[in-house]
Amino acid sequence: MTGYFKFAGTVFALLLFFSVTNAQRPEVTVSLNEAFLDSLLDAVFQNSPPIEFSIASNRHSRADAEMQSLRGASENGLEGSGINPGKRYGPVFSFSATPSPGTENRSCKEVIQLLRETNGVRTAVRFRDGKILAPLAFSGNYNPPLVGCVPFTGYAETTIDLEFDQQNQRVVARARVLNVSLNGTGGVGGSLIAKMVQSSIDKKINPIEVVRLDKLSFALPVRNSTSLNMKAVGIRTGVEIGVLNIHVAYDFVK
């Protein structure tokens, strides 16, 4: 009878061994629902300074590029005329697309400010059809030459992609702007403003740190041995209606 129990114990140990080796890596699942993120956004907008970023540098760089293009076209038009475009023949009048210091409209702060809501559109994160969608409401001011300060409001339709930053042990999100809708420009520079909004969101918001995986890790004390630590080695995501599940795979290391 004793031999039978030893044999049965050996078989059980072998079955347990093979089931463990064939199993997937151990995972920790982090679930985020829309209600939690709505409450988080409420707290951010109520208790934090306004979230804003300048578009003045974007406007100047675009204007400088346009002026450079015009100068190039003018010089090309002089080819074959016997006039050297690089030589000065008389008084030359020039202007710069970038205003000199002190000449800016100081009352017009060229910024985009994120809003909790505008015109019925709320800044939020939504989980739909396997995608992470994020409408972003905003307002701002634009100061085009010879026109003056143009206030505007609108929203950006964005989608969010999650990435695993293994080196820094974190999950980050990157917002991609799909479309920008504007109100209040009166037809003045609408397409240019939309491009500046899209460029600013792409450059100033990304990347967004979602969760630090080393904060989820914990040491496993082993008696008379070195403690084992958890190291994140990969993630997979599942988007359901109203819920995002982030499955984090871990290895146990010394």
Q: Which pLDDT score is estimated for 87? A: 44
Task: Check whether 205 has a pLDDT greater than 70.
Answer: yes
- Per-residue tokens: 179: 């479309």
pTM: 0.68
pLDDT in tens, 67-86: 444 344 444 544 444 444 44
Largest distance between two CA atoms of the chain: 115
pLDDT in tens, 102-144: 444 567 899 999 999 999 999 999 999 999 999 999 999 988 8
Contact 252, 219 (CB under 8 A): no
pLDDT in tens, 160-184: 999 999 999 999 999 988 888 888 7
Percent of the chain clearing pLDDT 90 (strictly above): 42
- Per-residue tokens: 177: 């702007």
Q: Which pLDDT score is estimated for 225? A: 62
CA separation, residue 57 to residues 62, 85, 92, 206 (Å): 9, 30, 28, 18
Ordered DSSP codes for 203-245: HHT-SEEEEEHHHH---B--TTSPPBEEEEEEEEEEEETTEEE
CA separation, residue 212 to residues 34, 37, 73, 82, 173 (Å): 20, 17, 52, 66, 12
Per-domain boundaries in the chain: 35-70+106-209
Mean pLDDT of the 84-102 span = 40
Q: Which pLDDT score is estimated for 75? A: 47
Percent of the chain clearing pLDDT 70 (strictly above): 64
Which of 70-74, 237-241, 242-246, 250-254 is predicted with the least confidence, judged by mean pLDDT? Answer: 70-74
Place 223 in a pLDDT band, splitting at 50, 70 and 90.
low
Q: Which pLDDT score is estimated for 107? A: 79
Residue 19 vs residue 24, higher pLDDT = 24
| H or E element that contains 144 | none
Contact 184, 153 (CB under 8 A): yes
pLDDT in tens, 27-63: 999 999 999 999 999 999 999 999 998 887 655 554 4
Q: Which pLDDT score is estimated for 204? A: 82
Q: How many CA atoms lie within 13 A of 96 on its CB side?
A: 8
CA separation for the pair 138, 68 (Å, rounded): 31
